Every structure is written in C-alpha cells, then in structure tokens.
Chain A
C-alpha cells in the first residue's frame, strides 16, 4: 500500500491523504495515460469517485471520454495484452474493500479479478469464446476461484443460468455462444460474471449491442441481481436513458475527467454543467408530447493528446464567453460542490447556471 500523498491534484472530495477509505470502492486521482507515436494519450486524467456496496454508479460520456479505460484500470486490465507495445501508465489510487489495487501485487489483483470484481462487456457475442460452450466458460470462471470438481461447478453454472432467466438451463449449458440469441448471450455473460458472487460488478455498455426490446430486460435483470447479491455496480454508458432509472449516482465524463457528478435525480433533473445539458438535449425523449428538434452537442470530442487548455469543453461550449477574462480558455475548472453532494466543474457562476438552466435549457427538454 502506498503512503505517498498525492498533493493538490485530487479532484472533488476533500480526501487528500492516502489513508484507507471507508467507502467500498474509492478511486482517487486516477490517471491512465497511453504513450503512442503521436504523443501521450491521456485517456483518464485525474478521476475520483466513491461507491458503496448495494449502490449503482452510472458513468456517462461520449466515445473516448475515458469511461471504458477507467473500468479496465479498476480491473487491472489496462495494460493487458499490450505485447511489445509501450505500456500504459497508471497512477492514483484504487481502493477496493480496503485494498489498494495499483500498488498491490499483480497476482493478487488477478485473484481478485472475477471473484471480488467482475465485468460484463458491450458485445456478448465477441466477448464469449466462440469455441467453448457457455457451460465450459462459466465453469472455468467458477473453478479459477473455487477448488471444486467439474460436476459441482457444472451444477453451479446451471443454477446461475437458471437465475438469469435462461430456459432449460440444464440443456442450454452445453450450447455454444452462436446458438444463443443476443439477449441470451448477455444473460449468460451476466451469469458468468456473477458466478463467484463478486462485490463489484462493472457493466461496460451492457445493452448497446442489444435489441431495444431486450435492453430493458437486461437492465431489469442487473437491478434485480444487484438487490439479491447486494453488490456495488458501475454502469458505463453513453446513453443517459439507460442509467437514469438504474443509477443512484451519476458521473459525467469529458476528455478523461469528471465534469459533473452527484445523485442521479440531481444530475438528471437539475444538471449544472453545459456538457450535461448537451447530453440531455441530444437525447430522444418519448415522455414529452411536443418536442423541438434534438440539439446535438456541437463539434466532436477533443483529441486526448492535445486536450484544449482551460476547460476541455470550451471549444464546444455555447457559454464559454460568459465568464470574464477568457478564464474558460486558460484555467481548468475544478469540481466544486454546487449543491449537497452535487459537484460540477464549470466557470459559470451559480446564478448564471441556474438562469441558463431554467430559462434556456429546461423548457426545451
């Protein structure tokens, strides 16, 4: 465990010391940088958050905002498979249940992987090995962490398949992934992730590759299982609608940093960052009668090698010129508490934000 104090750079919560945290999962000033020929790609650049058991955190952002890299960093998989490439650099602290993962022995982290923390991925077809049966893959996941014979593990696999709602699990257990439908595959993936009763489940875009009709079923399943197992869940998505109902807390990422976070209903119904407004404005809503055209966030995500100076969002922000002295282009805004447990990183004053939200943004949504 590291005792080195990380000075200054910690964003958000006032914990600057490296003492063991009280939260189940606590990420402090996480940075994941990838050296490339073109320069240093700062995929995650100073991210902090906490997550308690039984709670769900939604991490929202565009492609390339660092959501997936964050989850791979927590799992210790950010450098995996980088054979012969320049290794990713990671710094900060990741505390899981009292253990700091970045300074821990890699083999110890490996043993936690799959047992204490598990992950489900975006596309269950490509995330399951095409040459092994569903059963073989779940049994393997179970036997890595449990010293049991194949028969016991197989019973456990069938039990899990049954639990995630696969009909005739004793027969389907011997099917190959290509013999399952998309939704069934994701169910099997969830069964595999939960087979060891992990306390942390990371779902990386779990519904993006699925039919719309199946998406809700999978989200319901994740919610039910979380209640049953009492685990902490991180849901990573670019779709605010996915996490709106599911998440207790929301964290909005932009260019590798957190721009807004807080309780889900606050971030969703009283967002205080222009980027979050943009995300909400570009989201189709069916619960409103009359709606104007969707408003996309102008421009495209910034290069992670040359992140814009000042606020990374300033080139795309319609309100970048409101704060005085060009401060949006020179000074990086820190996360400040705008309301109880609700944080945003923006140079706009409280009054400006509330006025823009109530007068310009909210009526449009």
Chain B
C-alpha cells in the first residue's frame, strides 16, 4: 500500500512538471512562433518601441527558451527579479508574474480566489454524493416503483437543465422572491451564517446537476452488482439482506462513482465558470474568463497551473481511495 502511494505521488509530481512545461510552451513559445509579440500586448497596441523593448528586457523575452523556462520555474519556487535598466522589481516566491493589464501580481489574486472555487466544488460534491448516491441506491432497490420512476424523472431533469436556468430560477425564488438569502458571497471568517447563506444556493444548484448524474450511475451500477455471484454467496451465508447491501453491494458500487468523482471535481475546480458567474462568486472561473477576454497571459498561466495541481490532487486522492476499496488496484 505504501509503495503504491509513493509510486502515485511520484507520478503526480512528474505530471505536474510536464503540465508546467506544456503551459509554458503554449503561452510563451507558441506566440513567438505565431509572430505575436508578448511585450507589445503587455504594453498596449500603440506603444512606443522603446517601452516595448524595456518590457521585453524586463520579462527576459529575448533570452533563449531554456533560460526562460528556468526563470519561470525559479520564479515559482525561489522568486525572481525583473530588471530593465534602473527599473528593478523583485517578485518573491511563488512568483507567477504580473498581470499584463493591471500589473497586479498574479499569485495573491490566485490565493484570494482559489478558496472560493474550492469551497464551491467541495461543498457541492458532498451534497451530490450524499443525495445522488442515496437516491440511486433507493431507486435500484425499489426498481419500477413510483419512487424509482419519479426519482429518475427528476434526475433526467437535473441532467438536462443548464446551470444558468436552475441557478437563475433559484435566485429569483429564494433571493429576490422569498428573500431567504441575500445572494452575496461573504468570506467565512467574516460571518459563518453569511457565508453559508451565500454558498447554499450555488451548492444546491451545482449539486442538483451532478446528483442527477450520480443517481443514475449509482442505480445502474447497484442493479448490476446485485446480480453478481458474490452477492448470492453473501446471501447463502445467511447474511441479512441489509448487510448484503451495505457491506457487499455498496462497496462494489462505490468504485465507478469514485472514478467519476475524481474527474468531476478536477473539472469543476478548473471550470465552474457558469455557476460562479450566475451567483457572482469571486472564484477562479470568473477571473480566468476575464483573463482570456483580455489576453492576460500571466493570469491564464497561473490559473491553469493551479487548477492542474488541483486536478492532480483530486485524482491522487481518488486513486488512493480506489486502492483502499479495491485490493486488485494495489498491484497495478
């Protein structure tokens, strides 16, 4: 088990370096090949050539690629110094550079916004896991019943309705109509109840979409597992049906659900843009949308890196859990 863990951690670290290299290539090397000048976009379209040259020197854009990669890595782990003539700026580690538009340092913005996205994703995941899996199991055990049919109709609705529909609907009802929540994001250290009130609608809306998918998958998997020979063996031992379901069937049902969870959590951290926009949450998704619109490369770079890291961690956790559940995975 420990060897498996070490192997997975090592693989994750290698993946991260590969991601950094890939991101670097995409955002620094490709524009060069495409003839787009990063320095010009940093300064602005009608910039004076001397200023552009100053920026180019400052960012080290004329340096060979390997030294740029080195500086970039060094910036993340040890900080870097931008120097052009007498203009010296030191950027402490972890340094992801400065916005091309606002000249804001990227890293503080990331640390400011990432927790919001993470809260959104994790909170919603807890909700959809609990309700989706429970609904799926009940549906499987009561297949063909009124409960099963209505749950699956609701699930179909959940899968089909886009976030901006259910989100706006819930805003209209609970924020503007019933005035249960004030519909604003409040940091948790300011007011816990305020935070909860602000997060609950985004959580429920997002969880509705995913719970629907998870319920359907859980139902199908559970029905398949209940037909397995080892379930019959468990019954033949004289186990109570309840224990057969809980101990023998549930464990097998969890494996495909965990696999999905890893991918969904990763994707969500990188792209809960719709939910964040609908509910005006100051998360990464909104920021990266702005950054793309403004061609603000350092921000795109920073967001990509941090979300890749999150995806890797989410998948690592899921893989470890997977190995805990299924002993056959430990050998692989």
Contacts and interface: CB of A to CB of B under 8 A. Distances in A.
A269 interface: no
A176 interface: yes
B328 A119 contact: no
Contact of A128 (B140, B141, B223, B233): B233
Interface residues of A, number: 31
B190 interface: no
A112 B232 contact: no
Contacts of A110: 238, 240
Interface residues of B, number: 31
Contacts of B142: 83-84
Contacts of B8: none
A150 to B, nearest CB: 15
A144 B248 CA distance: 14
A113 B236 contact: yes
A115 interface: yes
A85 interface: yes
B226 interface: yes
Contact of A81 (B145, B231, B252): B231
Nearest to B331: A178
B236 A77 contact: yes
Contact of A131 (B143, B223, B233, B252): B252
B10 interface: no
Contact of B229 (A80, A126, A131, A144): A126
A84 B148 contact: yes
A186 B90 CA distance: 70
Q: Name the residue among A81, A111, A121, A176 with the largest chain B CB count within 10 angstroms.
A: A81
Interface string B249-288: 0011000000000000000000000000000000000000
B64 interface: no
Given A84-B142, A127-B229, A176-B327, A141 B235 contact: no
Interface in A168-219: 176, 178, 192
Given A83-B223, A84-B143, A130 B328 contact: yes
Contacts of B325: 131
B200 interface: no
A129 B328 contact: no
Interface in A64-78: 75, 77
B249 to A, nearest CB: 9
Contact of A113 (B141, B228, B237): B237
B238 A111 contact: yes
A128 B241 CA distance: 17
A80 B238 contact: no
B35 interface: no
B232 A80 contact: yes
Interface string B205-242: 00000000000000000010011111111111111110
Q: Name the residue among B231, B233, B240, B325 with the largest chain A CB count within 10 angstroms.
A: B233
Contacts of A111: 238
B112 interface: no
A77 B232 contact: yes
Nearest to A119: B236
B322 to A, nearest CB: 11
A262 B229 CA distance: 32
Q: Name the residue among A112, A114, A131 with the largest chain B CB count within 10 angstroms.
A: A131
B237 A121 contact: no
A128 B327 CA distance: 13
A114 B236 contact: yes
Given A83-B142, A176-B327, A130 B230 contact: yes
Given A130-B326, A131-B325, A131-B327, A113 B144 contact: no
Nearest to A145: B238
A178 B236 contact: no
Contacts of A248: none
Contact of B143 (A85, A113, A121): A85
Contacts of A112: 238
A195 B229 CA distance: 20
A123 interface: yes
7 contacts: A75-B236, A83-B223, A121-B233, A131-B327, A141-B237, A141-B238, A178-B328
Interface of B: 140-145, 148, 223, 226-241, 248, 251-252, 325-328
Given A77-B235, A129-B248, A144-B239, 7 more contacts: A81-B231, A81-B232, A83-B226, A130-B328, A140-B237, A140-B239, A178-B328
- Give the 8 A-B residue pairs with the shortest CB-CB distance, closest first: A84-B143, A114-B238, A84-B144, A113-B238, A126-B229, A114-B237, A129-B230, A127-B229
